[in-house]
Amino acid sequence: MASKADYETVRGNGGETHQRVSEKGPHDAAGHLTTNQGIRVSDNQNSLKSGARGPTLLEDFVLREKIFHFDHERIPERIVHARGSAAHGFFEVYESLADITKADLFQRPGEKTPLFTRFSTVAGGAGSVDTPRDVRGFAVKFYTQEGNWDLVGNNIPVFFIQDAIKFPDLVHSVKMEADRAYPQAGSAHDTFWDWASLMPETTHMLMWAMSDRAIPRSLRMMEGFGIHTFRLVNAAGKSTFVKFHWKPKLGMQSTLWDEALKLQAADNDYHRRDLHEAIAMGAFPEWELGIQAFDQKFADGLPYDVLDPTKLIPEEVLPVRLIGRMVLDRNPENFFAETEQVAFCPANIVPGVDFTNDPLLQGRLFSYLDTQKSRLGTANFHQIPINAPKCPFANFQRDGQMQMNVPKGRANYEPNSLGDAGEETGPRECPATGFTTFEGRAEHEEEGGKLRVRAELFADHYSQARMLFHSLTDNEKAHVASSFTFELSKVGLAHVPPRLVGNLLNVDETLARRVANGIGIQLPKKNAAAREPIDMKPSKALSIQANMKETIEGRSVGILYADGSDGKVIVRLVKAIKGKGGRPVLISTKVGGATLADGSKLKADGQLAGTPSQTVDAIAVVLSSEGCKALLKEGAAVQFVMDAFGHLKAIGHSPEAKPLLDKAGVEPDAGVTDLSDLFIAAAGKRFFDREPKVRTLA
Ligand code: HDD
């Protein structure tokens, strides 16, 4: 039988109860296996049979319970963002923000608030790969002392659509096609581009989705955004508009498209593994939370509408103020219980934070609560430990499937006078500290009426798409043009690409020409714009390459060695890489390792054939002449070097390894070095100038 210690106290609506079996699972105090009814199991290997060779008996309640439970292990996956990885951590506020918000977590400098963060891809199913070209979800649940606040954003600062009523169309078009159920986790197909080309408001987001932001190197190296304009409200009831930003400590970094494709083959779980291993190693991922705070007057002076989620406010126009940091320092103990069952909802806000009338946000406020009922099966999903607030909560909501609490007494209605009879009366509303919605009347009182319309400035679909394109480096621009080319090359409906290029003509004529040329079609006529785009100043903050950190911190360096390699060189490299916060990965043809020049054996971290160079950020090739000769006949070794060169990575090598580099087509440049400190410095960079040597971009 389970002991008292195996039960945990659950605080709920009705007070203290003892009812939830501990996380240790179904075994009793003595470590014995039990059924879910607490009956000790004597044999977990054989079902109950009528004779050794006879049929299994229906009577076997141990077997039936085990299979019954197994049959129901899955819950519906998320309709979008199904594939995700998450971690626990904390938020630490730098200074009091009492001047602009009364939100409890922002009051006391240095105070930490526990949180749970889940990253995700959007289009693919739960079992799909980690590195498709896709937007990444960036959802943070803050367990504040005044309730849960969920900031459910993405790694891109704008969204595809302006109004939630278009969300089902967006998702239907991008997901697997309805009749054939492919492609999985990819937008490069007919229905997505058919829809997107008919929806000019998607253009700005398409530019982001076709940029390197959509193929991040690591979840730890992505920015995050709350996207919508929210409000902060202070104790005096004053509202300040705000946009939220997450800035990664390791800087932003992306893969190349060819690298992302090859990662899909090398490691389906590349991002999930990277996050888990970094936390397990104690290299805790960290982001700073920043805000762009502004008032109505500032908003009125902008040439776009701050309620339009397809628009951003450039940092050069309104700087980001850093207000705290998030550190992820604990992996989930159970993927299903935590990462799968976590239920985010943009409607979860706390006093001091409020919504705006952004029509996309308004629709989201309904959708997430609704989806949880369907995914988690009960209105009591908030009682699941990962979703439960960590502050006390109490109300008169009762019953429902999977009710975990046992409220005491008769008080399940309000008002009541049960107190007069000495009974529990239950909780009461609190006008002083309870959540009050910001009135916001002044901002929309001129609107009047009930209308199915969009505000005037929402009709500008192209100005910011153009601004983004002009903010990128030449190499990034070429990546955008090439991504459009790749995606449209997969579209079978001949009338769709010209329509999309017709939209791009409103963004930038050179971009449109490059894409048309890339897919081999005539340049179409420009599609009429609902509102003529304007020229905005480029924003350097939007480029990854212009802001990349030259560092191997948080990155991996692959060291390829073989029989006869010089151990001293390897030891020096390992030390230097670790010294800069990088992770050395020893790679040899056998995972058992190789025999070095001094006769010692060095075990490898990875076998060459299973650890291709796309899994690391730079490579050092440490070979003797004999070792090199042997590897010249290994396709995996040649490919290892060829891909590192093609993916614009630093390649350090011993002089004896040169024939392997020659066979892999490596041409000398600043990224090809000896194994001295030159290599350690180069390993923190990507050599974008090399790209025209290795592939033709659009
Ligand atoms: Fe959404 C999940 C982000 C618009 C409806 N969304 C979901 C997740 C993220 C986002 C990160 C995964 C949360 C997790 O890790 O569990 N969604 C966004 C952003 C949007 C956005 C940044 C626009 C700015 N979403 C959006 C709209 C609707 C939804 C307009 C519906 C009207 N989103 C959902 C959903 C999901 C979801 C169907 C699927 C699973 C879930 O909520 O819990 O309700």
Max intra-chain CA distance, the chain: 94
Report the number of secondary-structure helices (H) and strands (E) in the chain.
19, 20
Instruction: Over range 139-151, report the average pLDDT.
Output: 98
CB 290 within 8 A of CB 95: no
User: Does the Cβ of 331 fall within 6 Å of ligand 1?
Assistant: no
CB 608 within 8 A of CB 637: yes
- What is 4-71's CATH topology? Cytochrome C Oxidase; Chain J (4.10.91)
Per-residue model confidence as pLDDT tens digits over 184-240:
999 999 999 999 999 999 999 999 999 999 999 999 999 999 999 999 999 999 999
Give the C-alpha separation, 54 to 538, whole Å: 78
pLDDT interval class at 89 (50, 70, 90):
very high
Token couple for 538: 């480029």
pLDDT interval class at 136 (50, 70, 90):
very high
Per-residue model confidence as pLDDT tens digits over 232-286:
999 999 999 999 999 999 999 999 999 999 999 999 999 999 999 999 999 999 9
Give the C-alpha separation, 363 to 165, whole Å: 7
3-state secondary structure of 150: strand
Strand partners, 697: none
Give the C-alpha separation, 565 to 600, whole Å: 10
Amino acid identity, position 605: D
pLDDT interval class at 448 (50, 70, 90):
confident
Give the C-alpha separation, 249 to 325, whole Å: 9
Give the C-alpha separation, 171 to 173, whole Å: 5
Give the C-alpha separation, 198 to 169, whole Å: 12
Per-residue model confidence as pLDDT tens digits over 644-680:
999 999 999 999 999 999 999 999 999 999 999 999 9
Instruction: Over range 417-422, report the average pLDDT.
Output: 97
Three-state secondary structure of 236-277 = CCCEEEEEEEEEECCCCCECCHHHHHHHHHHCCCHHHHHHHH
Tell me whether strands 15-21 and 7-12 are parallel, antiparallel or unpaired: antiparallel
Does residue 632 surpass a pLDDT of 60?
Answer: yes
CB 645 within 8 A of CB 665: yes
In the chain, residues under CATH classification 2.40.180.10 are 84-188+205-374
Closest CA to 686 of 375, 271, 256, 50: 256
Does residue 12 surpass a pLDDT of 50?
Answer: no
The pLDDT of residue 25 is 58
- Choice from 120, 228, 364 to test ligand 1 binding pocket (greatest atom count within 8 A of CB): 364
Give the C-alpha separation, 649 to 558, whole Å: 11
The pLDDT of residue 24 is 53
Architecture, CATH, for domain 550-694: 3-Layer(aba) Sandwich (3.40)
Q: How far is CA 638 from CA 159, 261, 317, 644, in A?
A: 42, 19, 49, 10
Per-residue model confidence as pLDDT tens digits over 473-484:
999 999 999 999
Does residue 110 surpass a pLDDT of 90?
Answer: yes
Q: Please state, as a whole number, how many other Cβ atoms lie within 10 Å of the Cβ of residue 164.
A: 18
Which has more pLDDT, 439 or 598?
Answer: 598
Cβ neighbours of residue 142 closer than 8 Å, sequence gap 6 or more: 91, 105, 113, 114, 115, 148, 149, 150, 151
Amino acid identity, position 59: E
Q: Please state, as a whole number, how many other Cβ atoms lie within 10 Å of the Cβ of residue 533.
A: 18
Instruction: Give the up-direction half-sphere exposure of residue 505: CA atoms within 13 A in the CB hemisphere.
Output: 16
Closest CA to 498 of 515, 510, 479: 515
CB 120 within 8 A of CB 139: yes
Q: Which atom of ligand 1 is nearest to the CA of 154?
A: 22
CB 42 within 8 A of CB 434: no
In the chain, residues under CATH classification 1.20.1370.20 are 458-546
The pLDDT of residue 13 is 37
User: Does the Cβ of 371 fall within 6 Å of ligand 1?
Assistant: yes
User: How many angstroms separate the alpha carbon of residue 500 from the centre of ligand 1?
Assistant: 26
Per-residue model confidence as pLDDT tens digits over 285-316:
999 999 999 999 999 999 999 999 999 999 99
CB 589 within 8 A of CB 607: yes
User: Does the Cβ of 137 fall within 6 Å of ligand 1?
Assistant: yes
Instruction: Over range 533-550, report the average pLDDT.
Output: 97
Strand partners, 594: 602
CB 463 within 8 A of CB 536: yes
Closest CA to 301 of 289, 313, 316: 313
pTM, rounded to two decimals: 0.95
User: How many angstroms separate the alpha carbon of residue 68 from the centre of ligand 1?
Assistant: 32
Cis peptide preceding 309, ω within 30 of 0: no
User: How many angstroms separate the alpha carbon of residue 167 from the centre of ligand 1?
Assistant: 10
CB 560 within 8 A of CB 608: yes
Does residue 450 surpass a pLDDT of 90?
Answer: no
CB 343 within 8 A of CB 368: yes
The pLDDT of residue 440 is 81
The pLDDT of residue 17 is 36
Per-residue model confidence as pLDDT tens digits over 346-358:
999 999 999 999 9
Give the C-alpha separation, 188 to 182, whole Å: 10
Sign of the alpha-carbon torsion through 166, 172, 174, 175 = positive
Instruction: Over range 95-106, report the average pLDDT.
Output: 98
Token couple for 440: 């916001």
Give the C-alpha separation, 209 to 132, whole Å: 11
CB 310 within 8 A of CB 464: yes
- Choice from 77, 80, 83, 155 to test ligand 1 binding pocket (greatest atom count within 8 A of CB): 80
pLDDT interval class at 334 (50, 70, 90):
very high
In the chain, residues under CATH classification 3.40.50.880 are 550-694
Place of tokens 């943070």: 140
Lateral strand order in the sheet of 556-561: 606-607, 583-588, 556-561, 618-622, 651-653, 672-673
The pLDDT of residue 29 is 78
Three-state secondary structure of 406-472 = CCCCCCCCCCCCHHHHCCCCCCCCCCCCCCCCCCCHHHHCCCCCCCCCCCHHHHCCCHHHHHHHHHC
The pLDDT of residue 442 is 63
Give the C-alpha separation, 175 to 183, whole Å: 8
Per-residue model confidence as pLDDT tens digits over 453-468:
999 999 999 999 999 9
Q: Which atom of ligand 1 is nearest to the CA of 164?
A: 30
CB 508 within 8 A of CB 483: no
* DSSP summary character for residue 631: H
pLDDT interval class at 444 (50, 70, 90):
low
Place of tokens 């937007």: 135
User: How many angstroms separate the alpha carbon of residue 122 from the centre of ligand 1?
Assistant: 9
Instruction: Over range 87-101, report the average pLDDT.
Output: 98
Which residue has its alpha carbon closest to ligand 1 atom 5? Answer: 367
- The CATH code belonging to domain 458-546 is 1.20.1370.20
User: How many angstroms separate the alpha carbon of residue 81 from the centre of ligand 1?
Assistant: 7
Return the CATH superfamily for domain 84-188+205-374.
Answer: Catalase core domain (2.40.180.10)
Which has more pLDDT, 14 or 137?
Answer: 137
Which residue has its alpha carbon closest to ligand 1 atom 27? Answer: 364
User: How many angstroms separate the alpha carbon of residue 251 from the centre of ligand 1?
Assistant: 25
In the chain, residues under CATH classification 4.10.91.20 are 4-71
Give the C-alpha separation, 272 to 84, whole Å: 8
Give the C-alpha separation, 41 to 181, whole Å: 43
Cis peptide preceding 183, ω within 30 of 0: yes
User: Does the Cβ of 133 fall within 6 Å of ligand 1?
Assistant: no
Per-residue model confidence as pLDDT tens digits over 548-579:
999 999 999 999 999 999 999 999 999 999 99
Place of tokens 């449209």: 488
* DSSP summary character for residue 337: I
Active site residues: 81, 154
Give the C-alpha separation, 676 to 621, whole Å: 12
Helix ranges restricted to H, 322-381: 359-376
Place of tokens 């020659």: 662
Give the C-alpha separation, 432 to 102, whole Å: 13
Q: Please state, as a whole number, how many other Cβ atoms lie within 10 Å of the Cβ of residue 195.
A: 18
Amino acid identity, position 545: Q
The pLDDT of residue 447 is 65
Q: Which atom of ligand 1 is nearest to the CA of 119?
A: 15
The pLDDT of residue 7 is 36
User: Does the Cβ of 548 fall within 6 Å of ligand 1?
Assistant: no
Per-residue model confidence as pLDDT tens digits over 527-538:
999 999 999 999
Packing angle, helices 474-489 and 496-504, rounded to 10: 160
